[in-house]
Structure formats: structure tokens, C-alpha cells
Amino acid sequence: MTQKLIFFDIDGTLLDDEKRLPESTKQAIAQLQADGHFVAIATGRAPFAFKPLMDELNISTYVSINGQYVVHNDEAIYKNPLKPDALAALEKYAAERQHPLVHLNHEDWYANTKDHPQVRAATESLKLDQAVKYNPDFYRNSKVYQTLLFCTGEGEAEYDQTFDQLDFVRWHQYSVDVMPAGGSKAAGIGKLIEQLDIPAQDVFAFGDGLNDIPMLKSVQNSIAMGNAADTVKEAAGSVTRDVHDDGIWHGLKMAGLLR
């Protein structure tokens, strides 16, 4: 079989709602690797937030932070931080509305507010061992690859209308991913495809979230999870079963990637 490049989202795709990795998914990834395929992660998470999963699956290539930090074989090949002036404007605008922010780089995350209930609820849903630290000045002194804005749905539209240097994609009822305008998993995937020189027909992607839509639209062989929203399914070439129902294994069989 020709060598393929297969991208997997994490939450709701590799991991179920309880952040568990189905055994069938683990076996499927191992089989792809044994057959000589490139297996990569494409996630909104920062690298520190999925290192145990990478270790468990023996994966060292990934598109992280919604495409802003791309790594191949443990070496960063693309970095796309947020512009300092855009971050400063976002900080001022969000503070006026009492909306907390959490800034991320590839190693850690830092809140500008202490122990806010929305920050706590959203970040704890990821079930990470690495707690959010308090450092309101982090964005001034370090590269930030993504910011988490904490507001409910009715407050989101005004940010979209105000900041043309930034894109906003909701991932939790309380939180929105903030990325450089035009930044996406699709853009990061493009950098990795260019690096590996893989033909378009040999690239596959699995996802379930709103931030997966650009990826699913851009990759020739795209599969949405059965638990994805209808808008996500409409962006994909095909739909597999729910993550709880061996969705990855079934989707790989559908795509002819598993024997």
C-alpha cells in the first residue's frame, strides 16, 4: 500500500467524552504505523496538553494549537504566534467586559485572572495534570500561539466584528479559541504536507469539532466522527461511527487503510 499521511483530532475523535482512548483506536493507530504510514495529531491543544497521549501512541508529528505550532519528528517546522499589538488590544477589550483570558505557548498556559469559575470549568473539562498558572503579564514577554477567551455565546459576535487580525472559534460553552486571522489546522497541515511531500490523494483527516471544519474541507480524504455536529459532518467527505462505537477503527476500514 502507498504510504499515507493520516491526521487525527484528539477530543471527541481519539478520546471520548471522558478523555479515554478506546482500545480499538489504540490498536488501529499501531496497525497504521506497522504498515508504514505517517500518523499525526491535529488538535487545538498545545503540546503540553497531549504529551501523555503522544507517548502512549508513539506519535512525534503533530499540528497543534489549531495549526499555529507544527512539529515533525519532535522538531518544530512552523510557528505562527499572535501579534503583540493584537494581544494588547484584546486584553484591553476583554478587561472592559470582564472576560478572562488564558494565553498559551507550546509549554504552558497562563491566566490573567485568578480562579475564575468559567476558566476553571472549561480547563478542568480537558482533565489535564497541568493546572493553569496566574501570570497577567505573560503575553507581554513571551510568544503566544493561542489565547482562550472566556465568554458565553451572546458575547462572541462583538469580538468577531472588532478584531480583523484574529479568528474566534468556540470549543466550550464558556470558551473560545483565539487565533491569528487565517490560522487553522488546515494551514498547519499544509506546512506538514509540504515538508513530507505527500500527494493530496494520500492525505486523510478525522475530526469532530468546529475547529476541524477547515481541515475537513481542505483534506481530500476527510472523515467526520458520528458524534460530530451536522455542520462538521457536512464539511467532511464521509462520516464514521461515534467515538464510543469504535469510530476510528470503522472509519479507517471504510477508507481502506486497515486490512
Alpha-helical runs (H) found in 97-212: 117-124, 138-141, 156-162, 185-196
Selected catalytic residue, list 9, 11, 16, 212: 9
Measured CA distances, 121 to 1, 17, 117 (Å): 45, 15, 6
What is the Cα–Cα distance from 49 to 124, expressed in whole angstroms? 12
Q: Is 115 a catalytic residue?
A: no
What is the Cα–Cα distance from 15 to 169, expressed in whole angstroms? 20
Q: Is 71 helix (H, G, I), strand (E, B) or coil?
A: strand
Measured CA distances, 43 to 58, 91, 152, 168 (Å): 16, 25, 22, 15
Catalytic residues: 9
